Amino acid sequence: MTRRRTITGFSNPAVKHLRGLREKKHRKAAGQFLAEGLRLLADARECGKLPEILVMATGREAHPLLTALEADVLAAGGEVLEMDEDILAKVTGKDNPQAVAGVFAEFDTNLTALDRSSAKIWLVAQALRDPGNLGTMLRTGDAVGAGGLILIDDCADPFSVEAVRASMGAIFTQQLAQSRWDEFLPWLRSGAGQLVAASLRDAQPYRGAPYAAPCFLMVGNESRGLPEDYEMACDLRVTMPMKGRADSLNAAVAGAVLAYEALAALDD
């Protein structure tokens, strides 16, 4: 069986499979997700993760990173598909698609796969519904050297095309876990870990707060915030000043502000 093929028609079964990965039910059934762009795929390769299927537009410009990626995929037993740009646009759902995309196996997202001692900071998101915010939090985690992102309760799918795109490659550099609150809290309390939330309930200013490593920084749902009992279970609640008409920050922005403040405190 050849592991390099040229796709010439929209009705090809491979195109149907690739397009299906834009929908959660098909991603879960296949255990795969789609990532676009040479930069993301190069980041994945540097992290030791290769696509099971490498998809390339015919007539693309040659690039040494792509040549190396293609060789590694084939050497690892993966498949390389070439197709016209208009077919690739159908796969990615973008009118001007990247010239390269990859199909990756979904990662293990169990809490037990995490090593909490591997980083000073971890990001936690509860019921985060916007895939752009989720991807941004992954990107923030990479920027501050966090261990990873823990998704609590019903969050957006981290393997959606939108979340992967927004992560700018951090989906491959950050550890990722998904759990329910009643699973997460006992896991956290079974070892070292300070749980911190942005809150207005008995909170202290976020600057100068007594952050302690490993520090788990938790933000809540974009519209509802964190449930009260979740906030009260935290070791530390902090507040950020709102000096204009806005009464809150975007969830991903709040996570970034807290992460950099905690990083500064823990690095002192």
Per-residue pLDDT band at 203 (split at 50, 70, 90):
confident
Verify that 50 and 177 share a domain, yes or no. Answer: no
Verify that 64 and 129 share a domain, yes or no. Answer: no
Cα within 13 Å of Cα(22), Cβ side? 14
- The Cα–Cα gap between 145 and 139 comes to 10
pLDDT at residue 247, rounded to an integer: 65
Verify that 132 and 192 share a domain, yes or no. Answer: yes
Q: What is the CATH number of the domain that holds 45?
A: 3.30.1330.30
Mean pLDDT lowest among 54-58, 90-94, 245-249, 258-262: 245-249
Q: What is the CATH number of the domain that holds 167?
A: 3.40.1280.10
Q: Please say whether the dihedral angle defined by the alpha carbons of residues 70, 161, 217 and 117, taken in this order, is positive or negative.
A: negative
pLDDT at 97 over 70: no
Domain end point (choices 77, 105, 133): 105
pLDDT at residue 96, rounded to an integer: 66
Quick one: which of 255, 150, 262, 144 has its CA closest to 214?
262
Verify that 75 and 124 share a domain, yes or no. Answer: no
Per-residue pLDDT band at 59 (split at 50, 70, 90):
confident
Verify that 234 and 182 share a domain, yes or no. Answer: yes
Verify that 183 and 56 share a domain, yes or no. Answer: no
Domain end point (choices 105, 133, 150): 105
- The Cα–Cα gap between 147 and 181 comes to 19
Overall average pLDDT of the 13-39 stretch: 93
pLDDT at 212 over 60: yes
Overall average pLDDT of the 83-97 stretch: 81
138-169 per-position pLDDT tens digit: 999 999 999 999 999 999 999 999 999 999 99
Per-residue pLDDT band at 255 (split at 50, 70, 90):
very high
Per-residue pLDDT band at 111 (split at 50, 70, 90):
very high
- The Cα–Cα gap between 74 and 206 comes to 50
Overall average pLDDT of the 81-87 stretch: 91
Q: Which domain holds residue 245?
A: 111-267
Domain end point (choices 73, 105, 137): 105
Verify that 217 and 176 share a domain, yes or no. Answer: yes
Verify that 140 and 216 share a domain, yes or no. Answer: yes
Contact 226, 220 (CB under 8 A): yes
pLDDT at 200 over 90: no
Query: Exposed, middle or buried, 231 (CB in 10 Å: 0-12/13-18/19+)?
Result: buried
pLDDT at residue 2, rounded to an integer: 59
Q: What is the total count of domains within the chain?
A: 2
